[in-house]
Amino acid sequence: MKPRVALLVLCYNGIEDTLACLASLQHLTYPREHYTIVVLDNASQDGTPARVQAAFPDVTVIENGANLGFAAGNNVGLRYALDHGYDYALLLNNDTEVAPDFLSILVAAAEASPRAGVVGPTIYYHADPDLIWSAGGWIDWQRGVGLMDGTGERDTGQYARPRPVDFVTGCALLVKRRVLEQAGLLDERFFMYYEETEWSVRVARAGYGILHVPAAQVWHKIPLDARFDQEYLAYYMTRNRLLFLQATGARPDTWLHALVLQDLRTYASLWLRPKWRTRRGRIGMGMAWLDFWRGRFGRLEQAL
């Protein structure tokens, strides 16, 4: 008997991407009777629920009623998977397209490794299909950051076999039911960014491994020249890295490195270097520090 899988596709607008993602899922080689596709809609304003139901009547749509962010939005789906007895849950960004065999490969890898709690594919840039965006990731505990392997590398077979990693990106990951039961769900305080990294630490501390499975392939529609200098991105990346350090009990030297050697240096550069002066990242960083020390988490209402 094949394990039952709940495929969770979270979306907030981007209907054309969502429809393309769902179209790619129609070609999965995994037996259709053993998986369910669930679209989790964070109150999209582009008619997502109606258009998904019209195009794919067999897809379950859950309307969250508000923009809950990545963590809380996906937790709705993870609770659905637990409540309906699924063996696995798959998180999948709506701006992705998948290889037909990617789910079969991920499930087979997870089943072959009893201690593996989370497995993830190789993710490529959709605009350049052989260019890697993520091949798993690792945590630099000296600096307190999560870093992805393979980003910007041409795939020449350098990631040929499944291997343990510190985390796989929430863009596409498969998690076992018992991991959800023992390690818990995503921490909704993060809203978006760093939630899967913190979650992966909890998974590892619960005694489970995390595997990158290179034969499973996904293509992500992130721009090749994506930049992270917008105010809201600077805010979430700064605040949530501090929350990550707090939640994982990072050492004092990691805090010192994060606050003094990284954040303050970056903040000074945003003010002092002429080419950076127009960037709004410094505003986001300032708000992030203030909110972290005040204990304000979740969504940044002013920026969204």
- pLDDT tens digits, residue range 33-62? 999 999 999 999 999 999 999 999 999 999
pLDDT in tens, 4-42: 999 999 999 999 999 999 999 999 999 999 999 999 999
Nearest to 78 by CA among 28, 108, 40: 40
Using an 8 Å Cβ cutoff, are 282 and 175 in contact?
Answer: no
Considering the chain, tell me which residue range(s) the CATH 3.90.550.60 domain(s) occupy: 5-220
What is the DSSP pairing of strand 88-93 with strand 60-63?
Answer: unpaired
184 DSSP 8-state letter = -
Write down the pLDDT at residue 176. 98
Nearest to 111 by CA among 27, 203, 211: 211
Write down the pLDDT at residue 143. 78
CA-angle at 116, arms to 110 and 118, nearest 5°: 80
Using an 8 Å Cβ cutoff, are 153 and 176 in contact?
Answer: no
Q: CA-CA distance, 106 to 220, in Å (whole number)?
A: 17
Q: CA-CA distance, 156 to 131, in Å (whole number)?
A: 10
Write down the pLDDT at residue 276. 46
Question: Which residues of the chain register pLDDT less than 70?
Answer: 226-230, 253-283, 302-304
Using an 8 Å Cβ cutoff, are 281 and 275 in contact?
Answer: no
Write down the pLDDT at residue 258. 62
Q: CA-CA distance, 130 to 124, in Å (whole number)?
A: 6
Distance of CA 206 to the CA centre of its chain: 20
From the CB of residue 300, how many other CB atoms can be counted at a distance below 10 Å?
Answer: 20
Q: CA-CA distance, 294 to 118, in Å (whole number)?
A: 33
Three-state secondary structure call for residue 290? helix
Tell me, what amino acid is at 265? R
**Cα atoms in the Cβ-side hemisphere of radius 13 Å centred on 147:** 11
Three-state secondary structure call for residue 52? helix
The CATH code that applies to domain 5-220 is 3.90.550.60
Listed in sequence order, the residues at least 6 apart from 208 whose beta carbon sits closer than 8 Å to its beta carbon are 115, 116, 117, 118, 176, 179, 182, 183
Write down the pLDDT at residue 303. 42
Tokens standing for 197?
Answer: 């990294």
Tokens standing for 235?
Answer: 């805010």
Write down the pLDDT at residue 272. 46
Write down the pLDDT at residue 53. 97
